[in-house]
């Protein structure tokens, strides 16, 4: 091959390479610009749909990353690189990472479900994952609770979804369940009247549903009465503690006895045989 032919081949190859590089750069930057538009439209659509902010950000990042990978592969393919082997390598790496992070992926999947179905929200008092507290944050991998004694508890979302969740704040009202025990010698009508007066005198007790005051059991040492008023959820503990104290004070004033556990013992005397 003559020198002129060699130079022509080199020049042609260099021109093709330069054009491919320019095309790859154009694919990358134009593709990234298009991805940015798609990303912004997706975020606006999710915001209009009133999806949780943390899920909006997470889904936006996932979609952006996936589309960017396709753009990079397209740009690399323009340079003449075989992308099939590269895709296989990425798939193998993804599988290895997935196997290494099984627990984290389970927590991630549970976090997505928690954000979508929302069995609890920030500010709710819940019981779940072996603990209880007020929800401070709902993240992709964990739920953060603040306990009544001001401890911060981080619970994996997989643990939350794997068990029973009790949400004490999901309804606007709650029923206060109290038991008042009195002596068998006390007048039942008087006990009922005193309990009704205690409950009705508390302005936090709701008129509907009406408070339920009933004799519920003839126990070993006492006659038990249930006292079940309905209150707003935020008033639950205040009413619970106040009624417990008021019942004791009123019973003392009215001469109604709260009996100690007791048992009647009968002794029989047998005379010895002669």
DSSP string, 165-223: -EETTSSSEEE--EEEEE-TTS-HHHHHHHHHHHHHT-TTB-SSSPPEEEEEEE-SS-E
The domain segmentation of the chain, as residue ranges, is: 3-100, 119-167, 173-254
pLDDT of 106 reads 82
Domain 3-100 and domain 119-167 have a common topology: no
State which CATH number among 3.30.565.10, 1.10.287.1260, 1.10.10.10, 3.20.20.70 fits the domain covering 3-100.
Answer: 1.10.287.1260
pLDDT of 273 reads 61
pLDDT of 103 reads 59
Is the CATH number of domain 119-167 2.30.30.60?
yes
| DSSP character at residue 235 | G
Q: pLDDT tens digits, residue range 92-122?
A: 666 565 555 455 678 888 888 887 788 998 8
The CATH code of domain 173-254 reads: 3.30.70.100
Q: pLDDT tens digits, residue range 212-256?
A: 999 999 998 899 999 999 999 999 999 999 999 999 999 999 999
pLDDT of 206 reads 95
Six-digit token string for 61: 């990042």
Residues sharing a CB contact under 8 Å with residue 118, sequence separation 6 or more, in sequence order: 52
pLDDT of 100 reads 52
pLDDT of 224 reads 96
Measured distance CA(62)–CA(106) in Å, rounded: 17
- pLDDT-flagged residues of the chain (< 70): 1-17, 52-55, 58, 80-104, 271-274
Strand residues in the chain grouped as ranges (E): 125-128, 131-138, 142-146, 152-156, 166-167, 173-175, 178-182, 212-218, 223-228, 230-232
| DSSP character at residue 122 | T
């Amino acid at each position: 091959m003559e020198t002129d032919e060699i130079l022509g081949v080199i020049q042609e190859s260099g021109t093709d390479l330069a054009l491919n590089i320019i095309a790859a750069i154009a694919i990358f930057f134009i593709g990234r610009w298009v991805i940015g538009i798609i990303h912004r439209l997706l975020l606006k659509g999710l915001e209009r749909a009133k999806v949780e902010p943390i899920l909006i950000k997470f889904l936006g990042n996932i979609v952006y990353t996936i589309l960017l990978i396709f753009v990079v592969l397209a740009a690399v393919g323009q340079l003449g690189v075989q992308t099939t082997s590269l895709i296989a390598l990425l798939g193998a790496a993804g599988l290895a990472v997935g196997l290494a992070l099984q627990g984290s992926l389970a927590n991630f999947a549970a976090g997505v479900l928690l954000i979508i179905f929302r069995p609890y929200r920030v500010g709710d008092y819940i019981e779940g994952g072996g603990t209880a507290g007020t929800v401070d944050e709902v993240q992709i991998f964990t739920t953060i609770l603040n306990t009544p004694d001001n401890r911060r508890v981080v619970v994996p979302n997989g643990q939350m979804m794997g068990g029973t969740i009790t949400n004490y704040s999901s309804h606007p009202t709650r029923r206060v369940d109290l038991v008042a025990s009195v002596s068998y010698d006390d007048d039942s009508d008087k006990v009922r009247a005193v309990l009704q007066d205690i409950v009705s005198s508390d302005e936090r007790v709701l008129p509907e549903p009406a408070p339920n005051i009933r004799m519920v059991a003839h126990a070993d040492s006492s006659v038990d009465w249930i006292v079940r008023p309905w209150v707003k959820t935020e008033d639950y503990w205040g009413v619970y503690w106040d009624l417990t104290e008021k019942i004791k004070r009123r019973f003392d004033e009215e001469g109604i006895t709260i009996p100690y556990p007791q048992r009647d013992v009968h002794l029989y005397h047998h005379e010895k045989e002669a």
